Amino acid sequence: MARRNYIFDTIRSVYALYGFRQIETPAVEYLSTLMGKYGEEGDKLLFKILNSGDFKAGVTPEDYATQGPGKLAARFCEKGLRYDLTVPFARFVVQHRDELQLPFKRFQIQPVWRADRPQKGRYREFYQCDADVVGSNSLLNEVELVQIMDEVFARLGIRVSIKINNRKILSGMAELIGAADKIVEITVAIDKLDKIGLDNVNAELRSAGLTDEQVERLQPIIALEGTNADKLARMHEVLQATESGVKGCEEVAFVLQSLVDAEGHSLLRNEVEFDSTLARGLNYYTGCIFEVKALDVQIGSITGGGRYDNLTGIFGMEGLSGVGISFGADRIYDVLNQLDLYPDTTTTSTRLLFINFGATEAAHCLRLANQVRSAGIPTEVFPDSAKIKKQMSYANANAIPFVALVGENEMQQGVVSLKNMTTGEQQNLTIDEVIAAVRA
Amino acid sequence: MARRNYIFDTIRSVYALYGFRQIETPAVEYLSTLMGKYGEEGDKLLFKILNSGDFKAGVTPEDYATQGPGKLAARFCEKGLRYDLTVPFARFVVQHRDELQLPFKRFQIQPVWRADRPQKGRYREFYQCDADVVGSNSLLNEVELVQIMDEVFARLGIRVSIKINNRKILSGMAELIGAADKIVEITVAIDKLDKIGLDNVNAELRSAGLTDEQVERLQPIIALEGTNADKLARMHEVLQATESGVKGCEEVAFVLQSLVDAEGHSLLRNEVEFDSTLARGLNYYTGCIFEVKALDVQIGSITGGGRYDNLTGIFGMEGLSGVGISFGADRIYDVLNQLDLYPDTTTTSTRLLFINFGATEAAHCLRLANQVRSAGIPTEVFPDSAKIKKQMSYANANAIPFVALVGENEMQQGVVSLKNMTTGEQQNLTIDEVIAAVRA
């Protein structure tokens, strides 16, 4: 939890610095809200909660005998555990539409549940850390979200590349080669370039029904080279006949331009890269899309997001545009572990342990401990007058950096014998000197 | 969330100051872990999760026709949502018995779920904020927990009375009047003194089977008067023939003595009161018990806890003593609301909003906003160049205290026109002056 809190607190404080407000939604949602939002596979992965009381009411033994588990589950259960934070957020926005001041900037850090087979990197309960702005079409929101991603990883000390693309560019590419109806297949195939290589992508494009000529025409814009400006210029040129392609290029250009100052210096500490192969799996994205990759660890995307134009439409509220990002806390946790990037203070809570030499000494130490705590230093008094060795091993096991030994002699002299557990050094100090030493 | 976080953060930081380590446990536990731990009523209030896949497997239509919902639920569901934090903690301790360094001091702030009918002050999902020490019999733990309760409420600005009693005193009382077998009934009746008055308590004691004489003998120790020392001395005297009663008095006396300094001054900022009528409903308590009441609001107990000697026994690990407290976050929320005790900064996140006058100005403001954020001040740039009135009403609705207006003139002069939304005052400042003004 200490390590997880370090990640959550970092993300939370950056979100707050940009004026996002935290909300939480209940773990339990109506299944009518959740079903049909995550595809057929997703529906199967929803945890369903048995109705309280007489859940059998209305389901006859004949129904039971003749209906399948899917249908019966829907009759036995009206509630389920949330699967992500996006759908509950859309439900929240629609429900509170009359109270919300638009644009509404919210962030949400909560667990979600999936009835999956647990395996490495895939859990049945895990945290999502989302931020979204709804009710504003402005690209300044995209700019801000890139800044937020940059700031979070700068604070965590993880070197990353922030990739940006635009769904309209992908539409333009499909339109250009006369395959606008195959936009989904093209997107899915191109998205795999990193993993399977160009030849396999092309094979997949062909098996999706593109002609050799169509695949050929895609080549120069799949694998663009050069600076962001070079790549954008080339893409703009190729796509100039498609309205959507031009719009996409302009949007990306605006975001990139807004991320440099008047002298052309980047406002970011990490690199941002225009990547025309970035597609993002989820089909509800309609504008800019983002993905963040760690430079020093081989792991998938550790953050992603984008603009969607009709998230609340599924709940009957049309025309509300939104843009959001989601930090993958579990993968970030893995990256920080692998690179050993946690600050020392993250895993130490207690800074000072008073050894317990018996009732009289403990009563004295209790008061000294209060003084140290008043200075804001997490402090413990070992509760039992156990063997010194046991108490010392407690300090070691809990990575407590300082131990205070106050026996009869020290009490009489009004001093504390302070032991530095790292260096082994031990010296007699006043309580004020102890506070200064532990704080340093 | 801003208000809830204020409460959680306060509790969290005090727990950490005393060396408690945070853990979280999954929302979902096996029903075999949860069932039978909260009484029959509790079992009914557990949310049960339908088994994934073919939950019908093994339950024939005949079984379905002949078995009741309780029995069938147990066959359809092997998992449920946690009902409190205590049982999952006991499960955690037993599961990790070989890795834990005792004494183990943990705290846990997480939601719990109860399939209750929702009503005021009673929710189906609510937070508990528990701290427990297991593996130490020392009363210094009790002393520390009282200090923690005192510190939390002092920080929150809520004036409270911390009540302390001991289950051994209640046992002594039962033993004294020859009704040791009626300890539960006596405890339950006396616990209601505050709510129903002495006459009704006595009537309940009689209907529980106590004779008039037995009830008579209880009177002097139910309603003790005077200082803590007076009351304890009187109780000690009356119970001197009962081993358990004497032990209970000594334990309370030790805790109270440890809470004053060498000169006899209290270490606490709130009063602590020995209350022989305090019983606490839960029957697993065996030693000191605590309860906190707000002095300025009529509401039930806002924090409670006590010592239990065999929490992990239900999971086959005997003899591990523990002591813990639990803050009632929802009632504390109500008290803070009623007394209007939230600091101003709690509900304001964003301190400064830059008004958007159009693309050129917004680009300029984006850079200025970065400078303000670098100083740690939560800042927004309104994303759309909407009407000024709309932007101003956004600032008001979100309680943003300062608004920066940077139009063409201000850009040319290199200044920011800063408006204080509380006083209405407006002045032209450099960005450094803006930072200073907003920070002040």
pLDDT tens for B304-323 read 999 998 888 888 888 899 99
Q: Among B221, B18, B98, B233, which residue's Cα sits nearest to residue A354? A: B18
Distances (CA, A) of A151 to A12, A157, A271, A312, A388: 12, 10, 12, 29, 46
Amino acid identity of residue B368, one-letter, is L
Q: What angle do CA A52, A56, A59 make, to 5 degrees?
A: 140
Residue A55 to residue B73, Cβ atoms within 8 A: yes
pLDDT, tens digit, 9 for 90 and up, residues B239-296: 999 999 999 999 999 999 999 988 889 999 999 999 998 988 666 789 999 999 999 9
Task: For residue A367, give the nearest of B26, B138, B261 by CB distance.
Answer: B261
- B122 vs A325: which has the higher pLDDT: A325
Residue of A349, A353, A364, A385 to mutate for B, most B C-beta atoms under 10 A:
A349
Phi, psi angle pair for A18, to nearest 5°: -100, 15
Read off the DSSP letter of residue B48: E
SS3 A357: coil
Q: Is A312 on the interface with B (CB under 8 A)?
A: no
- pLDDT at residue number A348: 64
Average pLDDT value for residue range A236-258 = 96
Distance of residue A68 Cα from the nearest chain B Cα, in angstroms: 8
- pLDDT at residue number A40: 82
Residue located via tokens 């830059």: B354
Confidence band, pLDDT 50/70/90 cuts, at residue A120: confident
As to burial, measured by CB atoms within 10 angstroms (0-12 exposed, 13-18 middle, 19+ buried), residue A385 is middle
pTM: 0.89
Q: Is A109 on the interface with B (CB under 8 A)?
A: no
Give the number of residues written for chain A. Answer: 440
Distance of residue B216 Cα from the nearest chain A Cα, in angstroms: 39
pLDDT, averaged across chain B:
93
Q: DSSP string spanning A20-74?
A: -EE----SEEEHHHHTTSSHHHHHHT--EEEPSS-TTTT--HHHHHHS-HHHHHH
Q: Is A112 in contact with A63 (CB distance < 8 Å)?
A: no
- pLDDT at residue number B188: 84
- pLDDT at residue number A431: 97
Going by DSSP bridges, is the β-strand pair B104-113/B21-22 parallel, antiparallel, or unpaired? parallel
Q: Is the peptide bond before A378 cis (omega within 30 degrees of 0)?
A: no
Q: Number of residue pairs across A and B with CB atoms under 8 Å?
A: 193
- pLDDT at residue number A67: 95
Residue A49 to residue B81, Cβ atoms within 8 A: yes
pLDDT, tens digit, 9 for 90 and up, residues B333-364: 999 999 999 887 766 689 999 999 999 999 99
- pLDDT at residue number A52: 92
pLDDT, tens digit, 9 for 90 and up, residues B39-55: 788 899 999 999 998 99
pLDDT, tens digit, 9 for 90 and up, residues A390-438: 999 999 999 999 999 999 999 999 999 999 999 999 999 999 999 999 9
Confidence band, pLDDT 50/70/90 cuts, at residue A36: confident
Q: What angle do CA B240, B242, B248 make, to 5 degrees?
A: 80
pLDDT, tens digit, 9 for 90 and up, residues A71-117: 999 999 999 999 999 999 999 999 999 998 899 999 999 999 999 88
Q: Among A187, A168, A166, which residue's Cα sits nearest to residue A252? A: A166
A384 chain-B contacts, CB cut-off 8 A? 103, 136-138
Distance of residue A229 Cα from the nearest chain B Cα, in angstroms: 19
Query: Taking CA atoms, what residue in A is nearest to B76?
Result: A50
- B122 vs B385: which has the higher pLDDT: B385
Q: Is the peptide bond before A118 cis (omega within 30 degrees of 0)?
A: no
Residue A121 confidence (pLDDT) above 80? no
Average pLDDT value for residue range B163-175 = 95
- Among residues 128-167 of chain A, which lie with CB inside 8 Å of chain B? 133, 136-138, 140-141, 143-144, 147
How many of the other CB atoms lie within 10 Å of CB of B250? 15
Confidence band, pLDDT 50/70/90 cuts, at residue A41: confident
Task: For residue B19, give the nearest of A113, A376, A378 by CB distance.
Answer: A378
Please state, in angstroms and rounded to a whole number, the distance separating the CA atoms of residues B329 and B352: 31
Q: DSSP string spanning B373-439?
A: HHTT--EEE-SS---HHHHHHHHHHTT--EEEE--HHHHHHT-EEEEETTT--EEEE-HHHHHHHHH
Read off the DSSP letter of residue A142: H
Q: Is A425 on the interface with B (CB under 8 A)?
A: no
Residue A347 confidence (pLDDT) above 80? no
Q: Is A299 in contact with A167 (CB distance < 8 Å)?
A: no
Please state, in angstroms and rounded to a whole number, the distance separating the CA atoms of residues A228 and A234: 10
Distance of residue A113 Cα from the nearest chain B Cα, in angstroms: 9
Q: Is B276 in contact with B302 (CB distance < 8 Å)?
A: no
- pLDDT at residue number A282: 62
Residue of B49, B263, B265 to mutate for A, most A C-beta atoms under 10 A:
B49
A48 chain-B contacts, CB cut-off 8 A? 49-50
- pLDDT at residue number B203: 95
Q: Is A52 on the interface with B (CB under 8 A)?
A: yes
Can you read off the two tokens belonging to residue B276? 């022989």
Q: Is A333 on the interface with B (CB under 8 A)?
A: no
Give the number of residues written for chain B. Answer: 440
Q: Is A222 in contact with A201 (CB distance < 8 Å)?
A: yes
How many percent of chain A have pLDDT more than 90? 78
A20 chain-B contacts, CB cut-off 8 A? 349
Q: DSSP string spanning A333-355?
A: HHHHHHHT---HHHH----EEE-
